[in-house]
Chain A
Amino acid sequence: MTQIGRRFAGIAAILFTLAACGGSTGTVAQTDVGVTSNSILLGNTIALSGAAAAYGTIANASNAYFTYINNTQGGVNGRKITYKILDDVYNPANTVPLTKQLVEQDQVFAMFGGLGTQAQTSVRDYLNTKKVPQLFVATGATTFMSDFASHPYTIGWQPPYQGESRIYAKDVLANHASAKIGVLYQNDDYGQDYLKGLTDGLGANASMIVDKQSYDVTAASVASQLSTLKGKGADTLFLFATPSFTIKALVTVTALHWEPTIYLNSVSNPQVYMGIAAKAGAALKNVTSVGYLKDPTDPQWASDAGMKLYKEVIANCTTCKVEDGFNIYGVAVAWTMVDVLKKAGTNMTRKNVMDIAGNQLNETNNPFLLPGVVVKTTSSDHFPITQEQVITWAGTGWTLKGSLIDERGTIK
């Protein structure tokens, strides 16, 4: 087939120069596709342009860690990691062909760190059919961990959204037992997952939720929903929203002369967004969230070894901002990836790597996570991170409160 291909390639190139995107690269006979004696090829699709491009830095931060490993340790077991990142503009219709390209044309060993629930769902069946690992997808949608049995080549990494809101439920029950809860959530899997976790976590006390209001990403404002929640007498507000809507909501709450206890989800809690909200006029009183990563802006980690390493690593990425919370996420997940490859050792097959990632993770020393957070999977549990710690806003930064709360085993 390739012979005929070469013969016609010339004519074809003249006819359709535009389509002539590189010939097929040579395949590797030993071990699995994408691995040679001195290299490992990983692929990723993420939004580098378009509305969700703010997340794109995650992949660059991960790549900075791989560069660091390649430069300081000569790669993993003598194999240098190459990380090919393609821009899917957060549109599943792009994710599918780009993933096919990475798997079939670029011949990657595994996909790593793909972002977006819809985008990663769109290629999950394909990758599982091809038995290509879809490792540590950047979404907390429960399905990427709970459906391991039916999709054994897919695994998430970050705490599931449901687990996070179960922690909020515990905190509410412990500290605000008589709260009247109002919820503002985005009308997609992300918002609904959070809402489900909260409802399940409250259990018999679910009637504490006096009202819930949804919004669409096309909304101009969430003032209408928030006035309704206030009107229903809610004194505790849950915001399950993306950063920009969270900021708008925080400002609007202040403008409505409303002073509820506020819980906001971890996706929106990086300090940079809190700073924007404060500048835009939000009072930010009684705000609670959770964290599992070390916050690069938190002075308490100034002399921490992990934070020092992070700063050293991120210097390999010219476009990455040190204080951006997304970047420490990217480095931390890359740390787990390297850990898995190290464990795989000489047995560099897709099957073995997937087995380690899905069933045998036991990382107690990831230096970028809060002390005590374990990244762990077993043959019956495929939720890598389930511990988070409650944090409260203290005017200029987050303060850790209490100790880690573990939701392992509560989400099915």
Chain B
Amino acid sequence: MQGLTQQVISGIATGGIFASLALALVLIYNAMGLVNFAQGEMAMLATFVAFTLIDHGMSYWIAFPLTLVIAFAGGILIQRIVIRPVERAPVLTMVIVTLGLATLVNGLAGFIFGYVPRSFPSPFSVQTVDILGAFVSYRDLGVIGVSAVVLLAIYLLLQRTTVGLTLRAAAHHPEASRLLGVRVSWMLALGWGLASAVGAVSGIMAAPILLLEPNMMQTIIIYAFAAAVLGGIESPLGAVVGGVIVGVTVNLAGTYLPFVGGDLQLAVALAIIVGVLVLKPNGLFGRPSVRRV
């Protein structure tokens, strides 16, 4: 029993990482109906920015917000330079561009920073708390807590502010928004900036646990895809719930299903993606979408 509790608790902890990256995916999807394949790599690069700042003697608490600002600006810059030329192109064109971006950013990070893993500081200690006989570190709890805060911030932004409303309107009804004087293209850029900043939070929270290196997010992004798809790719709440479910499922399947074992955890994520898409494409919290002609 204690073993089961520990598996669930550990799963929730890893799920927090998946959730935080999935939140960034959901933001881009809300802004332009696109899954950004480069989201994980952008988060990784932002974390390296934070690492460099801290390494040069900057305090963590200054480096953290500064990185978010840099990531926000970087996201906007990427949207302006790389995405804008193809934003009216079919979605597959944009997918290929983001995939190219992912490959490029990964290669660049490897080139600049090398592939030796690095430790990354965390504001949360590795001390653990005892929950029902299972242990979880403050660091893991921190990831989940921060994800919850980001979720709340996104919710407030999208639902309760004019910017959020405009953002959603620009994504869902670009022509009408344009007629109303909304600068749709800049709204998309704003969406990219926000997603990039959320991704940076995810990277900074995950790096102490995953160790910072260019491939840090390479497989995490797949788990994050699974989380976003499971939760319903439009729903921020769904991303967080999905992340936690994926984390727990992967652990339990690895422990209790002999044919999965420790080796095929990523295959479990693949199975979740395919299963959800085929059986319930809108996920747990998504609304049914209407296919546009």
A residues with a Cβ closer than 8 A to B are 49-54, 187, 213-216, 218-225, 227-228, 230-231, 243-244, 247-248, 251, 254-257, 272-273, 276-277, 279-281
CA distance A53 to B111 in the complex (A): 10
Chain A residues in 8 Å Cβ range of B2: 231
User: With contacts A221-B13, A224-B250, A227-B134 known, what are 17 further pairs, Cβ within 8 A?
Assistant: A49-B110, A50-B110, A53-B110, A54-B116, A218-B219, A219-B265, A224-B10, A224-B251, A225-B262, A227-B10, A228-B255, A251-B126, A255-B128, A256-B6, A276-B211, A280-B211, A281-B139
- For the complex of A and B, the 7 pairs showing the least CB-CB separation, nearest first, are A281-B126, A231-B3, A223-B10, A279-B119, A218-B266, A224-B251, A227-B6
Chain B residues in 8 Å Cβ range of A277: 119
Report yes or no: A244 in contact with B262, Cβ–Cβ below 8 A. Answer: no
CA distance A247 to B211 in the complex (A): 8
Report yes or no: A280 in contact with B208, Cβ–Cβ below 8 A. Answer: yes
Report yes or no: A54 in contact with B115, Cβ–Cβ below 8 A. Answer: yes
CA distance A56 to B223 in the complex (A): 30
Chain A residues in 8 Å Cβ range of B3: 227-228, 231
Q: Which residue of A lies closest to B3 (CB)?
A: A231
Report yes or no: A187 in contact with B263, Cβ–Cβ below 8 A. Answer: yes
Chain B residues in 8 Å Cβ range of A228: 3, 7, 255
Q: Which residue of A lies closest to B116 (CB)?
A: A54
Tell me the interface secondary structure of chain B in the complex.
helix
A-B pairs with beta carbons under 8 A, tally: 119
Report yes or no: B7 in contact with A224, Cβ–Cβ below 8 A. Answer: yes
Report yes or no: B213 in contact with A244, Cβ–Cβ below 8 A. Answer: yes
Q: Which residue of B lies closest to A231 (CB)?
A: B3
CA distance A276 to B13 in the complex (A): 21
Report yes or no: A51 in contact with B215, Cβ–Cβ below 8 A. Answer: yes
Report yes or no: B263 in contact with A215, Cβ–Cβ below 8 A. Answer: yes
B148 contacts chain A at the CB level, 8 A cutoff: no
Chain A residues in 8 Å Cβ range of B126: 251, 254-255, 280-281
Chain A residues in 8 Å Cβ range of B261: 213-214
B242 contacts chain A at the CB level, 8 A cutoff: no
CA distance A213 to B265 in the complex (A): 13
Known A49-B110, A53-B110, A231-B6; judge A220-B118 contact (CB<8 A). Answer: no
Chain A residues in 8 Å Cβ range of B18: 220
CA distance A282 to B117 in the complex (A): 15
20 A–B contacts, CB within 8 A, in A order? A49-B107, A49-B110, A54-B116, A214-B261, A214-B263, A215-B262, A216-B263, A216-B266, A218-B219, A219-B265, A220-B220, A223-B10, A223-B251, A225-B254, A225-B262, A227-B7, A228-B3, A247-B119, A251-B126, A280-B211
